[in-house]
Structure formats: C-alpha cells, structure tokens
Amino acid sequence: MELELLNLFLVLVVAWIGGSVATRVGYPSILGELIAGIIFGPALLQVLAPTETTTVLAEIGVLLMMLYIGMEIDFRELGKASWAGLLAAIGGFIVPFALGYYAVLGFGGSNLGALFVAIAVGVTSLATKSRILVDLKLLNTRIAHVLMAGALISDTLALIIFAGIISFTDAGSIEFLEILVVTGKAVLFFAVTGLLGIYVLPYLGKQLEKAGFTNRTLFFTIMLIIAIGFAELAELAGLHSILGAFIAGLFLRESIFNRKLSKELNKVFYDISIGFLAPIFFVTAGYHVTFDVFQNNLTLLIVILIVAVVGKIFGTALFYLPSGNGWREGITVGTGMNGRGAVEIVIAGIGLSLGFIDNEIFSILVFMAIFTTATVPVFLTWTTTWLRKRGELVLSSSEKKGILFLGAGPLSLYIAKKLNNKAPLSLIDSNIDNCVRANNLGLKCIQGNALKEETLMEAGGNEAGTFVSLTNNSEINVLAAQLASETMGIPNIYVSLTPSTEGANVELLDPIGASTIFAKKTDPYKWDYKLENKAFEEILTEITEHISSRDFLKQISQKEGDILPIFYENGEGELNIYHYGIELEPGYKVHYLK
Amino acid sequence: MELELLNLFLVLVVAWIGGSVATRVGYPSILGELIAGIIFGPALLQVLAPTETTTVLAEIGVLLMMLYIGMEIDFRELGKASWAGLLAAIGGFIVPFALGYYAVLGFGGSNLGALFVAIAVGVTSLATKSRILVDLKLLNTRIAHVLMAGALISDTLALIIFAGIISFTDAGSIEFLEILVVTGKAVLFFAVTGLLGIYVLPYLGKQLEKAGFTNRTLFFTIMLIIAIGFAELAELAGLHSILGAFIAGLFLRESIFNRKLSKELNKVFYDISIGFLAPIFFVTAGYHVTFDVFQNNLTLLIVILIVAVVGKIFGTALFYLPSGNGWREGITVGTGMNGRGAVEIVIAGIGLSLGFIDNEIFSILVFMAIFTTATVPVFLTWTTTWLRKRGELVLSSSEKKGILFLGAGPLSLYIAKKLNNKAPLSLIDSNIDNCVRANNLGLKCIQGNALKEETLMEAGGNEAGTFVSLTNNSEINVLAAQLASETMGIPNIYVSLTPSTEGANVELLDPIGASTIFAKKTDPYKWDYKLENKAFEEILTEITEHISSRDFLKQISQKEGDILPIFYENGEGELNIYHYGIELEPGYKVHYLK
C-alpha cells in the first residue's frame, strides 16, 4: 500500500495552479498543465518524476476524457454542420497533415513517425473554442459555428485516421490478406459498437427506466463499464482504446438514459476527467519534453511550427473558398482552428509510448501545441477586428436559435411579433384563448402546462436557444425556467419576476444561470393592460457610454418614470431581448415602452 | 500505454453484478464485491488476477472512500450522540478487541498480528445500517439512533487505535524517546489538521465565496487536493494515509463551501468512490483470500467467528446496561452492530500489505466480515421482533425531528397544534396576521419569504426532519420544497398541490424525493374555510388490511365523499402526517376530516 502520495499531491497542485493561471489569462487549462509538467518535471526543476500511480491515473484519465469529449459531440449538430464547416475541417486537416508528413520524411524521419506528426499537426483543439469566442464576442457569428463544426469534424477525422494507422502498424507487413484482416477487424469494430450504441444501449436504457431504476450511481457505474468495454473492444480490433472510449461517449449522450440524470452524470464525468485525472495526464506528458531539441533539432522544430501554423490557416482558407464566404473569412476560421490541444497531446503520447516517435519529436509536438494554442486569441483578435472593420463579420444563421415563450399574454405577443421573422418561435400558454389570439397573429402557440417536459418538447424546447418565462406567476416562471435549463439544456433563459418581496426571487435564478428579463422585477399585468389599451409609446434610444443594462434602466427610469426596456440592438443591428447582466456599448440601441 | 483494460473491465463487471445481487437480497454491496473477488479471483475460478492498474485504482479508491465516510459523519450528530450510543460503541469495540487479541496470541500469533485482528474484530460496519433499518422499519426507534451513533464512534475509535499501532510499528523499538517522538508526531498531525480544518479551510471557503467562485469542478479539485494533502500529512506523521483522508472528510463537510455545491460534490465523491473505485478495492481484496485456511486454521477461524459475534453482541449489551435501557435492548443493539464492512477490510488489507498478518489470517478476517454482515438482518429481525412483542421497542427521541410548516393558514395550524407537543415545530408565513394567530396558539411562527435560505435557517430548517409545504400556491410549495431539500437536507418533505391541471405537478416532486401531502391534490382554501367555520368533523378509523395511503383514500372517498386524511397512527400509536406512498398496515389508524 505504498502510493506515491506526495508525488500525486504535487502533481495535482501544480496542475491546478498551472490550469488556473492559464484560464485566468484566457488560455485553456491544458496549456498551463503541460507547462507545469515541463517546469516541475525532469526537463527543468526535476521536482516531479513519473510514478506508477500517476501513470495509471493518467491513462484512465485519457480514457475518461475521450469519453467526455465524445459525450460533448452532438450527432445532430454534426449532421447539421454547414457545408462551410466541413470544408474548413477537411482543408484544415489535410493540408497541414500532408505538409507535416513530408516535412518529417524530408528530415529523415520514419514513415510511421511522419504519420504521427502529420496527425498531430492536423488536429484542431476543441477546448480552446468556447472561451475565446465568448471573450471576443463572436458566439453569434457565422465564424463561431463554422469553428465548432470544423473542430468536431477534424477531431473525428483525426481519430479515425489515427485508428487506421494503429491497426496497420500492428499488422507489420502489408500483404493483401493482412490488410484484409486488419480492415475487416476495424469494420467489425465499428459495426459492433454501432449496433450496440444504436440498438442495444437505448433498449437497455428503456428497460432500466421501465424497471424504475433512478439511482444515479448505478447509471454512473453502467456508463463506466460501457466506456471501458468499448475501449477494450477497440483494443481487440487492433485499434486504440481511446477510440473506443470516444465512441462510447458518442452513444452515451442524453438519449440513452433519463435526460436529467444524463446531464448530471455528464457533469460528474467532467469533474472526474477534467477536474482530476486528465490534468495528471497533461502534467506527466510534460515530463517527456526535452529541451535538447533546441540544440539538436531546432530546424525541424521551426519547420513544424511553420507547417502547423501556415498549413492550418492557409489550408483552411483554401478549402474554404468554395463555401462562397470569402477568403478573408477563411483566414479567420483558419486562425481560430490553429490551436492544438488535448487530442493532439494524447496522440503524440501514444506515438511516444509505442516508440513511433522519440522524445525529441514528442517535445516538438508539445511545443507546437503550446505555441499554436497561444496564437489563437492573438491571431483571432486580429482577423476578427479586420473583418469587423470591413463589415464582413457575418452573423450566424445558427441552429439553436429558436425562442420559446411561456405565457402568451399581450406583452409576450408584443415581443414575439417583433422577433417572429428572425427566429423559429413558439409560445406556450395554458389558456386556450391566449393561444388562439397568438395563432391569429401568425404565431405558433401550444396550449398546455409548461411545467411538464412533454409540453416543452412539443413546443420545440429541444431546438430552442432562448426561453422567456413571462407569465404573471413568478413561481411558475421559475419552475419552468428550471425545467427548460435542466431537461432541455436551453442556454439563454430570461425570467419575469413580479416586484413582490414574497415568493420567487433572484436567488433562485442563479443556479440555472437565468437572468431577469427587463433587468428589473416587473408586473406583466400592468403592461398587458397598457398594451391592450394602446396606452404606450415605443421609444428608441442610443447608448452613448459603456453601461450595464441594470444601470441604464435606472438612469432612464429616473428621467422618464415608469418604462419597460424590451430590446437592445447591438452594433450589428441585431435585436435582442433586454435582460439583467448585459453590458451595453456605445452605438447600441435600446427599445423601450413608456 | 498498455492498461490492463480487459482485466479492469471484468473487475468492474463482477463488482457491479456482485454488488447488485447483494443489495437486491438486502445486504451491502461490499459483501457481493468481496465474494465476486473470491469467486473470480485466484482463490477459485482464477479469471481475475491483480494488475498494476487495479492496484493503483483500488488504493485511490480506499482513500476516496475514507474521505467520503468522513464526509458522512456529522460532528454535531456525534456530539449529540446519546450516552447510550457511546456506551454501545465502547462496549462493542473493547470486548471483541480484547477477546480477538488474546485469541490470536493464544494460537501463537504475533503481537502485531493480534492487534490487527483485534481492531478488525472490534469495528462496526457503517454501510449496513440504513438499508436494514429501513427494511425492518426501525428508523424511528431509539435503537436506530443508538446504532448509528455507535457505529460512527466505533469506527472513529478503531481508526485512532489503528493509527496508534501503525505509528508505533514504524518506530520499531519501544524506547522512551522513541515513544515520545512517535506520540509527538501523531499529536502534531492532529493539531495541524485540526487547525487547518477549523480555521484555514473555512477561511479559504469564505474567500473563494467572496471572490465569486462557483465553478463546481474547481471546488472538486480543491477538495481532492486537500484530501490527498491530509493523507500525505498522515504519512509524514507516521500514521496511515487513510486516516488523513478520513479526517479531511470530517472537515470538508457542508460548512466549508457553499451548501448546495457541497451537497452536489458529496454525491460526486460517492459516485467516484462507491460507484467506481472502492468496488475495485473490494474485489481485489477478495483475491488474497485462500481456502487453505479451512484445512490449516479451521479452529482459529471458528474461534474468531465466535469471538467476533459473541464479543460484539454481549460486549455491547454488557456496557449498555448503565444506559438504563435494559439488557434486551442492549442485545438488540449488539446484533445490529455485529456487521463488519468497509473499514474492517481496509484495515485487514493494510495489515496484509505491511506483512503484519498473513494470507490465512487475512482470509479469516474476510470470512468474518462476510459472516458477521450476513448475520445482521437475520439476528436483528429476531431481536426486534422479540422487543416488539414485549412492547419494548422504544421510539426515538431523535435529533432531527423538528417539523417546519410553510403557510400558517387554518389547515396548517390545525395540523401543527396536534403535533406541537411531539416535536419542535415552527411555521413560516409571509402574512404577519397568520403569524400572530399562530403565536396566539402557542406556535412559533417566522414571518418571511420561505424561498430565501435565510428564512428557512431562521425557522430552524437545519434541525428539521420534516417540511410541510401547505400554502395555497403550489408553485411556491414546490420551490420551497426544493430549497428545503437541497440546502437544508430535510429528509421528509410533504407538499400540497392544488387540483389544477396547470402549473406545478407531481413530476416536479420526484427529483427531491418529496411526496404529496394528504395523498391527493388538495385545495387548502376549501379546508381552511371549513376549519374557520368549524364546518367539519374529525373521524378516526382503523385499517383492517394492508393498503397504500393512496388506495385507502380512494376507498374512503368513495364511501364518504370529500374527505381529507390528516394523520395516520402506526402500531406504536405514533402520529404521522398522511401523505402519498405510505403502506398502511392492519392496526394503523387514520384521522381524517370530513
């Protein structure tokens, strides 16, 4: 029972500090973890060294991380991924892949080593994306959607090619029969896991649900067993276990088990992999880095860095041309996809442990990951500023842009009418008269109880990106918002709260990340009445200085008395629902009722 | 990167199957896991064998399980643990400890081996308790509380004595200076961890809260780091890492971080330890079992089984005498504490790996754990039936028996008045008049918003075992119930829902394990009115056949029209609130309003 506890403790601590520092300055935590491993590991300070404990935990960590990455990929989203995303993914993969491959061969590397480097150069980081897109306020642009689809497709592509290489290296020779067997085994693997994932797992899920099992830990254990079972199947088929775990993740999405439970367990797998085991992998990956490469192989290092950056950016831009979105947007997408991250390090690590690449090539790949990831925020800021200045930053025609209103009273109808041509929109009301009225205005309205999952589903909650709770009952608003967040995963939730000191209050919104619509407690009745009797004016005002939506409301209320801010228009003229927590910038416009 | 994946997969599968079968037939899952390890391991089928992967994961699993066990122990509960619980714990530990020690010495065992066996024989399983108490309907009896307190104290005692032994074995010699150093280090460990736990961690928690950190994974990582840090501190002090993890768990309870987050993370640690890693430990513990012991050491095996069972039961009963609760109750408590479980196997495993006991003694201890745990439901059924028949099954004057009512309308007041002398009781109402009225009836009433955590705290939500949501607003009832469950951890929650097809519905109660008060949707207004105008009768009826509370209500409503069942009295004459999901037995009585 001699665990190398002190070592494990230190690894977790440096991983945590490294990760925190990295995210604090806007980089993915993996960057900090890698660097921590390099600094405290054998390469520099030599405080840390590999131990059996960290080796085992790191390997389990990689499996669970691949499982989690798989879980995060939404088949439907991938299916809907635009033509543009596919082009970007292929171009951004193939060009650096080819360049990387020939570069290594040119420097006298082995065929297999070259293939590993090529994959590593080709992949795209998933981890970098969201945070940077938020920071640069790109989430609602076409670029953001292309980037996400591109990264997903590129990672999936990389893993499949990686699997192919792994399965052929096992074979050794390249005789025809051998190739047939190897290919057959891989095909069998995909067929078996596909059948299991598409038919057996959902069946199992239904049986468990029927039998009334709701114990979270039970489902957690079952998911673990499935993941490790799939990983083992991949090994048996001559592929690599990470591919099995990844595919298990693809299937273990919400559909299999109870929706709420799945969401909870998704978080648990995130905690375990990203909060515990995967950082151990990245720190220990840093151990294998050697600085000798700067003396022995500096040219190759520089060549690979150039190939990675130039190949990725221009490869993406080149293949992106047929999308018709212009070469400038292609370049911008390329800079956004330039990061390498978790998957690259995992593949490089496997290459190292299988002996296909040596420590120096591995070090080059790690430095490449760090360097390219570091470029993303810098380059992407440049390119998007450039596009923005030219007025070419196109807003997305995104998938999950549906808006769901709870309550079809006059105020809801007023707001919904204005947004109706911008997004698929539907309303829910328990009162049939309200629904009929909405229908007469050309709006879709479901009559039903919004506190039931099936009503939300019927109203298209699955496809909605925004949920607006606007009945006169604050508590119904809050409960419906909880359901919309927890079972439908709707990201933007705006809730109306009445100005009573009793009952539902803002504290209840925090846990689901919802915010107060209109940036204040409001009595919808009052405005319903005014709207019904046409006793209101619509006013449009422009923002002149940076101000929060809450402060702006206060400011304007002091001047004008009782008003209700409904929308704000950002710089691109996009109409958005006014709510608590927006930072309004000069040039934005606010629509309010008086 | 060659994980022994197939082996890990099989270990998880047999652990899961073993655990499921065990819990299905009413035993703790650890029993099934141990037996699975014995059957599939080297002892019998030889399908499984130790691997590096399972060894490391098992060891991390033990640490996380000890952390979790620590987290589950409530200082306040321990502090309040009755005199009786303390007596039971001491008697149930010391007597089998002494008998076990001399038994091993008598068979020619070493001093250290004897000490390890003695501790193993002394401990009491925590895992067995709750499930069996529920099955035997003992949760509300004094025995249940003595058992829980007893098991907690006994485990804590065992771990401290274990730590003492470990620290002295390290010293080797028993010179005075040596003893001083060893004791000093142990004292230092408790002082340092105590200071960290009592001052530093809460301070850290407050700082993080102030800085606005709410990222769950961040807190998860911090808790892991603290646990492993404490484990390492224990090692440095010459104690064992499990003690450090256990003590970290004691401090990492709700108080440190945000209440809701802590509850969530507590579940995550449960998932990881009990749903993933600890089962690996118990299966692999089964590997070390050898059946040779039946040939070579059968007498010792039998002696230890006898010592364990007889020592535990009669030791407990003997020391229990001064409690004044009678020797029969002492025997009953003894049979309930007779199980050994996780902690015993952990200690035995450490003894084996440090070489203090050999495989045969280890096997004896495993068989002892299996045997004694198996006796608990059997013996406890006998003894409690015996007590029940003699009318000596005393109901508990438990700690968390407070009742909290939301809504102080006439119906609430009617119910509260009847329960007022049985339990500390308070009401919450936003209406000051209702509160004044409650006060005039001698009831405690807090005027405030029940959807705020501070109101629930003020009303004693922390101490409440029952929460009754009985306002006329179903949605407020549900939201308050969520808060009561999630932030206060109140176990029994009864919610009133109005008979509307809109708004809050039963589906919303499932996730928090609440049930519908009165076993049907009710309009409190109507009954408030009847109660106000004294337009009702109270009727008491006796149950003649086993029936669910829902069916009984239907049955009686068919005969008598619109009635409202308020209480049921169980066989012991205890008055309980009528709600959905009770199984009524012949002899029970139901109070209803008409």
Contact B268 A270 (CB under 8 A): no
φ, ψ (nearest 5 deg) of residue B255 = -60, -30
pLDDT of residue A281: 92
- Looking at chain A from residue 448 to 467, which residues have their Cβ under 8 Å from any Cβ of chain B? 449, 451-453
Measured between alpha carbons, how far is residue A396 from residues A89, A463, A464, B256 in Å?
Answer: 18, 16, 15, 44
- The predicted-structure confidence for B311-339, as pLDDT tens digits, reads as follows 999 999 999 888 888 888 899 989 988 88
Contact A501 B449 (CB under 8 A): yes
Query: CB contacts < 8 Å between A and B, how many?
Result: 174
- The predicted-structure confidence for A247-304, as pLDDT tens digits, reads as follows 898 888 766 777 778 888 888 999 999 899 999 999 999 999 989 888 888 999 999 9
- The predicted-structure confidence for A350-400, as pLDDT tens digits, reads as follows 889 888 889 899 999 999 999 998 888 888 888 988 888 887 777 765 556
- Computed over every residue of chain B, the mean pLDDT equals 84
Q: What is the DSSP string of A401-422?
A: -EEEEE--SHHHHHHHHHHTTT
Amino acid present at B373: T
Contact A479 B478 (CB under 8 A): yes
* Closest by Cα among A430, A421, A420 to A472: A430
Dihedral sign of CA atoms A127, A131, A136, A139 in order: positive
- The predicted-structure confidence for B192-250, as pLDDT tens digits, reads as follows 998 998 888 888 888 887 877 777 888 899 999 999 999 999 888 888 888 899 889 88
Residues in chain A with CB shorter than 8 Å from the CB of B222 are 16
Q: What is the mean pLDDT of residues B515-528?
A: 84
Measured between alpha carbons, how far is residue B23 from residues A543, B127, B374 in Å?
Answer: 64, 11, 12
**Which residues are registered as beta bridge partners of A569?**
A575, A589
From the CA of A10, how many Å to the nearest CA of chain B?
A: 9
ipTM field: 0.74
Report which listed range, A7-16, A230-239, B285-294, B529-538, is most confident.
A7-16
pLDDT of residue A3: 54
φ, ψ (nearest 5 deg) of residue B523 = -100, 100
More confident residue, A9 or B586: A9
Q: Beta B425-429 vs B402-406: how paired, if at all?
A: parallel
B296 part of contact set with chain A, CB < 8 Å: no
From the CA of A336, how many Å to the nearest CA of chain B?
A: 26
Which of A12, A216, A507 is nearest residue B228 as measured by Cβ atoms?
A12
* Closest by Cα among A381, A346, A389, A354 to A135: A381
pLDDT of residue B210: 81
B310 part of contact set with chain A, CB < 8 Å: no
- The predicted-structure confidence for B34-80, as pLDDT tens digits, reads as follows 999 999 999 889 888 889 899 899 999 989 988 988 887 776 666 65
Which of B12, B221, B479 is nearest residue A475 as measured by Cβ atoms?
B479
A24 part of contact set with chain B, CB < 8 Å: no
pLDDT of residue B102: 94
pLDDT of residue A77: 61
Selected for mutation to probe chain A from B23, B52, B268 (highest A CB count within 10 Å) is B268
Q: What is the mean pLDDT of residues B479-495?
A: 84
Whether residue B356 is predicted with pLDDT greater than 60 in this model: the reply is yes
Dihedral sign of CA atoms B54, B57, B60, B63 in order: negative
Contact A220 B5 (CB under 8 A): no
Q: Beta B538-542 vs B564-569: how paired, if at all?
A: unpaired
Contact A241 B271 (CB under 8 A): no
Give me the residues of chain A with pLDDT under 50, please: 1-2, 128
Whether residue B16 is predicted with pLDDT greater than 90 in this model: the reply is yes
Contact (Cβ atoms closer than 8 angstroms) between residue B579 and residue B549: yes
Q: What is the DSSP string of B364-384?
A: HHHHHHHHHHHHHHHHHHHHH
Q: What is the DSSP string of A194-259?
A: HHIIIIIHHHHHHHHHHTT---HHHHHHHHHHHHHHHHHHHHHTTS-HHHHHHHHHHHSSTTTS-H
pLDDT of residue B172: 55
DSSP class of B508: G
- Looking at chain A from residue 246 to 265, which residues have their Cβ under 8 Å from any Cβ of chain B? 260, 265
A50 part of contact set with chain B, CB < 8 Å: no
Percentage of residues in chain B having pLDDT higher than 70: 93
pLDDT of residue A75: 64
Whether residue B8 is predicted with pLDDT greater than 90 in this model: the reply is yes
Instruction: Tell me the two tokens of residue A390.
Output: 């030219």
More confident residue, A526 or B300: B300
**Which residues are registered as beta bridge partners of A547?**
A584
Element (H, E) at B188: helix B176-195
Contact B274 A217 (CB under 8 A): yes
A224 part of contact set with chain B, CB < 8 Å: yes
pLDDT of residue A271: 92
Residues in chain B with CB shorter than 8 Å from the CB of A228 are 5, 8-9, 12
pLDDT of residue A175: 65
Contact (Cβ atoms closer than 8 angstroms) between residue A312 and residue A337: yes
pLDDT of residue B1: 37
Contact B1 A268 (CB under 8 A): no
Whether residue B156 is predicted with pLDDT greater than 50 in this model: the reply is yes
Contact A479 B476 (CB under 8 A): no
Q: What distance, in Å, lies between the first and last C-alpha atoms of chain B?
A: 72
Contact (Cβ atoms closer than 8 angstroms) between residue A534 and residue A565: no
Distance (Å, rounded) from C-alpha B361 to C-alpha B109? 10
Does the pTM surpass 0.90? The reply is no
From the CA of B247, how many Å to the nearest CA of chain A?
A: 16
Contact A505 B57 (CB under 8 A): no
- Helix, strand and coil in chain B, % to nearest 5: 65, 10, 25
pLDDT of residue B588: 86
Whether residue B168 is predicted with pLDDT greater than 60 in this model: the reply is yes
Residues in chain B with CB shorter than 8 Å from the CB of A214 are 510
pLDDT of residue B342: 82
Distance (Å, rounded) from C-alpha B461 to C-alpha B470? 16
Instruction: Tell me the two tokens of residue A263.
Output: 């969401």
